[in-house]
């Protein structure tokens, strides 16, 4: 009997040790995730990791991109904003680029995670040629904007509401289009579903936006490490707690699905079928969650992350322009 008790005690001690080791590993992994993903100043941050440029065969509209980039560089005007938590945020304002501009028509284009306003030049150029005055804000912690921690669309959506207010203060008759790519799309979706959204915002476009940060980070961990999904989910949940302590928000708060249940403006959701970064399934999750009566979705075959406009530009811009016509010219 005593041998059985002794053996049981050894097994219990071993199990406790393994549990403690697992908990310790989870804590380390969670802290690394939080540091890598949202801390722009950390040495081991994705913001300090060089990204591979897109293969040239994926850039099907290189001439248009070059033309838009030159227009952006030569036409941009700096604009600044003080965020609610005291950060100096920077953006670029671009005048309409057509013979008969609409004095009260505006578009705000939000760039993606680790990106900068310049990457939205092609979209800004398209809207400017339609008569829009275009604003390209730099997210907190990106380009010239201050801020150490990235909000994954949650903190940024408050910044976007303030950029919207900046336009309305200058032009109370403003009618505003929101467009975002990737994290910028998440920012737009969370803004569209915020009860504080002004009526001046009349339509929104989400290109390759994730459904939730918890889901996106969990998917990324599973894809990169092949850990079991419950383990990856546990790491993300613990990282969320760490993020709340450091950056002031939880990953659970950054949910496009939750926000879209309160959306009422016309919305277009776009995704590439070959997107390996944000799964195309997120298109369905966001589309189904959207409460707007006027909602549309577009899946571009063969397109990778944020490459839909380059992969099938005719189909892409036809659907974008159709949304604009419904929302602005009805």
d(CA 249, CA 247): 6
pLDDT reported for residue 60: 66
Q: Model's pTM, two decimal places?
A: 0.91
Q: Report pLDDT for 63.
A: 86
Q: What is the pLDDT of residue 314?
A: 95
pLDDT digits (tens, 9 = 90+) for 267-322: 999 999 999 999 999 999 999 999 999 999 999 999 999 999 999 999 999 999 99
Conformation bin of residue 136: beta by default, left when phi > 0, alpha when psi is -120 to 50? beta
- The β-bridge partners of 299 are 271
Query: pLDDT, tens digit, for every residue of 69-89?
Result: 999 999 999 999 999 999 999
Q: Are 112 and 87 in contact (CB under 8 A)?
A: no
pLDDT at 51: 55
- Any idea which architecture 58-212+254-329 has in CATH? 3-Layer(aba) Sandwich (3.40)
| Beta pairing, strands 133-137 & 105-110 | parallel
* CA atoms of 239 and 250, how far apart (whole Å): 9
How far is residue 307 from each of residues 60, 225, 312, measured CA to CA in Å?
A: 9, 26, 9
pLDDT at 154: 98
For the chain, what is the HEC assignment?
CHHHHHHHHHHHHHHHHHHHHHHHHHHHHHHHHHHHHHECCCCCCHHHCCCCCCCHHHCCCHHHHHHHHHHHHHHCEEEEEECCCCCEEEEEEECCCCCCCCCCEEEEEECCCCCCHHHHHHHHHHHHHCCCEEEEECCCCCCCCCCCECCCCHHHHHHHHHHHHHHHHHCCCCEEEEEEECHHHHHHHHHHCCCCCCCCEEEEEEECCCCEHHHHHHHHHHHHHCCCHHHHHHHHHHHHHHHHHHHCCCHHHCEHHHHHCCCCCCEEEEEECCCCCCCCHHHHHHHHHCCCCCEEEEEECCCCCCCHHHHCHHHHHHHHHHHHHHHHHC
pLDDT given at position 8: 37
Structural domain boundaries of the chain?
A: 58-212+254-329
Exposed/middle/buried for 258, CB within 10 Å: 0-12, 13-18, 19+?
A: middle
Share of the chain above pLDDT 90, in %: 81
Distance CA 186, CA 198 (A): 18
pLDDT at 187: 98
Q: For the chain, which ranges sit under pLDDT 70? A: 1-24, 50-60, 330
What does each C-alpha distance from 312 to 53, 64, 111, 209 come to in angstroms? Answer: 20, 13, 20, 18
C-alpha–C-alpha distance, residues 129 and 167, integer Å: 19
Residue 179, Ramachandran bin (φ over 0: left; ψ between -120 and 50: alpha; else beta) = beta
């Amino acid at each position: 009997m005593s041998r059985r008790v002794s053996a049981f005690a050894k097994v219990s001690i071993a199990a406790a040790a393994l549990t403690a080791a697992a908990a310790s590993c989870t804590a380390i992994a969670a802290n690394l995730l939080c540091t890598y993903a949202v801390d722009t100043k950390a040495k081991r941050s994705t913001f300090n990791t060089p990204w591979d440029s897109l293969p040239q065969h994926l850039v099907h509209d290189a001439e248009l991109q070059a033309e838009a980039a030159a227009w952006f560089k030569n036409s941009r005007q700096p604009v600044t904003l003080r965020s609610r938590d005291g950060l100096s945020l920077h953006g670029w304002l671009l005048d309409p680029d057509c013979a008969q501009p609409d004095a009260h028509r505006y578009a705000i284009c939000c760039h993606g995670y680790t990106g900068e306003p310049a990457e939205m030049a092609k979209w800004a150029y398209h809207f400017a040629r339609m008569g829009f005055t275009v604003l390209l804000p730099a997210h907190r912690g990106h380009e010239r904007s201050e801020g150490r921690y990235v909000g994954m669309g949650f903190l940024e959506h408050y910044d976007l509401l303030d950029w919207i207010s900046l336009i309305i203060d200058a032009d109370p008759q403003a009618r505003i289009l929101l467009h975002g790519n990737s994290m910028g799309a998440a920012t737009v979706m969370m803004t569209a579903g915020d009860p504080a959204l002004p009526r001046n915002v009349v339509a929104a476009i989400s290109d390759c936006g994730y459904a939730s940060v918890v889901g996106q980070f969990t998917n990324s961990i599973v894809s990169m490490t092949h850990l079991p999904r419950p383990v990856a989910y546990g790491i993300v949940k613990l990282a969320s707690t760490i993020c709340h302590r450091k950056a002031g928000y939880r990953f659970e708060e950054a949910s496009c699905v939750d926000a879209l249940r309160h959306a009422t403006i016309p919305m277009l959701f776009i995704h590439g079928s070959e997107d390996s970064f944000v799964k195309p399934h997120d298109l369905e999750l966001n589309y189904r969650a959207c409460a707007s009566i006027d909602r549309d979705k577009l899946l571009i075959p063969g397109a990778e992350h944020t490459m839909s406009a380059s992969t099938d530009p005719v189909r892409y811009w036809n659907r974008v322009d159709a949304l604009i016509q419904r929302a602005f010219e009805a």
